[in-house]
Amino acid sequence: MRPEFLLRREHFGSLAYSRRSHRFFAFDEHATEIFSMAARGEGRDVLARPWPFSREELDEFLDEARVLGLLGDDLALRAEVRPDRSSPGVLSAPLRIYWGVTYKCNARCRHCLADAGKRAPGELTTRQMIAVADELEALGVCEVTLGGGEPLTRPDILPFIEALRTRGIEVELTTNAFLVTRPLARELNALALRHVDVSFDGASTETFDAVRGPGTFVKALKGLRVLCDEMACGVEMHVTGMRPVLDELPALADLARDVGCRGIGFLKVRPVGRLREHPELLISPGEFVRAVTRLEELCDARGLSGPTDLHLEELPGKDLFVNFGCVGGNTTCWIDGTGSVAPCSYYQYLDARYVGGSLKERPLKEIWDRSAPFARVRALRPNRKCARCRYLNTCRAGCRVLGMIYHGRPNAPDPYCVAEPDDAVFEAFLLKGRSRRDRAILP
């Protein structure tokens, strides 16, 4: 069995990831030297060596590391260690990968950012995906979130999840749940996933089917119920903040509670992909903030975890980088079904120039360390609004893709900023779109 901890050498020292609590712990160079000695079987020598801190402080640190479970009573290291491959100021590898394993999908959602439907030419084969999983293991990537398209349409999805799990990688699954049967849910449960998210855009056939296609509400609800029954890891509803769901928030919260969901996520709507053709589905930043606040209350009252999103969502390692901007390209990255790598999926589908390379041609490590798009997102200069904001450290300046969409610059303010939503920018964006469409139909 694999140890609970994975220890990665990083530019600041090292980073430990607990596979049990899914928490990250950052350590400086001295702590890292202690771990290195412990890994070499020289744990006892740590006590005899001079350090630039007192013996009391050393004992305190060793006690904490023992309580955490990183060191044994004999001062042996209890972690899998990844070698030092870190570049200055940049994590040695992503902590989490979002991986859209196919473009094939059994729905035609109006808001699909990937314009999914048919399998794309050149999608990675099982063998190619396993080769990537080998690299992820070697790099010490901690978590992978699988999505699509619809990931359950891949016939090899279960063996692939198993391949990731046997490599010590924690797996989350994002699905529309249409294909979920009880035997499949049991097989998924046996793979000890970290988490399952079911995309769910309405509490009634009328709203849901209008967004996701005829007959989809019944199929999704059936799958969601089965997953909630069978998955020990817990299941969340993932709702995209679009106009039809605004009137159904209480009904959504009731439904989530009744089927046994753990909570509800409420995602910012981003006009990328098919949603560009459906501006009527967008909601304003003010409406988004009011909806999240309302949903939070509704979830609280029903014992559900709420949409902590507000772009302060629980994302890995937000405090592990100093660059301006979000986790995309700093602690996480995206792989699409054909092996293209970008800081996040929205970057890729909004502007293909943000693709850093293909895993068919270059290893992930090279793309992460050396490609121009990743360098660009790490070099963003702060905008004035966020630079002066007291929430910057936790918020990380909201969404950079929304800055691009609404202002044309990746470092521009996110209109869906929770502290100060900007409805004027949103209105101007709609007007611009309208006049463009009007011009298109004029002779």
User: In the complex, which residues of this chain contact ligand SF4 (CB under 6 A)?
Assistant: 326-328, 344, 346-347, 385-386, 389, 391-392, 395, 397-401, 414, 417-419
Spatial strand order of the sheet with 143-147 comes to 263-267, 235-240, 195-199, 170-175, 143-147, 96-100, 332-335, 340-342, 357-358
CB of 286 to ligand SF4, least distance (A): 13
Task: Provide the angle, in degrees to the nearest 10, between the axes of the packed helices 216-230 and 249-259.
Answer: 40
At residue 76's C-alpha, the angle toward residues 70 and 78, to 5°, is 35
> What single string gives the DSSP state of each residue in 304-372?
-B---TTT----TTGGG--SSS-SBTTTEEEE-TTSEEESSHHHHHH-GGG--EETTTS-HHHHHHH-H
3-state secondary structure of 81: strand
- Cα–chain center distance at 369: 20
Comparing CB distances to ligand SF4, the nearer of 5 and 347 is: 347
Q: In sequence order, what are the residues at sequence separation of 6 or more whose Cβ sits closer than 8 angstroms to the Cβ of residue 83? A: 9
Q: Which is nearer to ligand SF4, 306 or 415 (CB)?
A: 415
Enter the tokens of residue 134. Answer: 């080998």
Q: Least Å distance between CB 329 and ligand SF4?
A: 8
CB of 42 to ligand SF4, least distance (A): 41
Q: Between 221 and 380, name the residue whose CB sits nearer to ligand SF4.
A: 380
State the minimum distance, in angstroms, from the CB of residue 70 to ligand SF4: 30
**Minimum CB separation from ligand SF4 for residue 9, in Å?**
25
Residue with smaller CB distance to ligand SF4, 221 or 386: 386
Q: Which amino acid makes up residue 386?
A: C
Which of residues 231 and 412 has its CB atom nearest to ligand SF4 in the complex? 412
Residue 70 · residue 34 · CB < 8 Å: no
Alpha-carbon distance of 228 to 223, in angstroms, equals: 9
Closest CB to ligand SF4 among residues 376, 385: 385
Number of residues assigned to the chain: 443
Residue 414 CB, shortest distance to ligand SF4, in Å, is: 5
In angstroms, give the least distance from the CB of 241 to ligand SF4: 13
Q: Which is nearer to ligand SF4, 19 or 111 (CB)?
A: 111
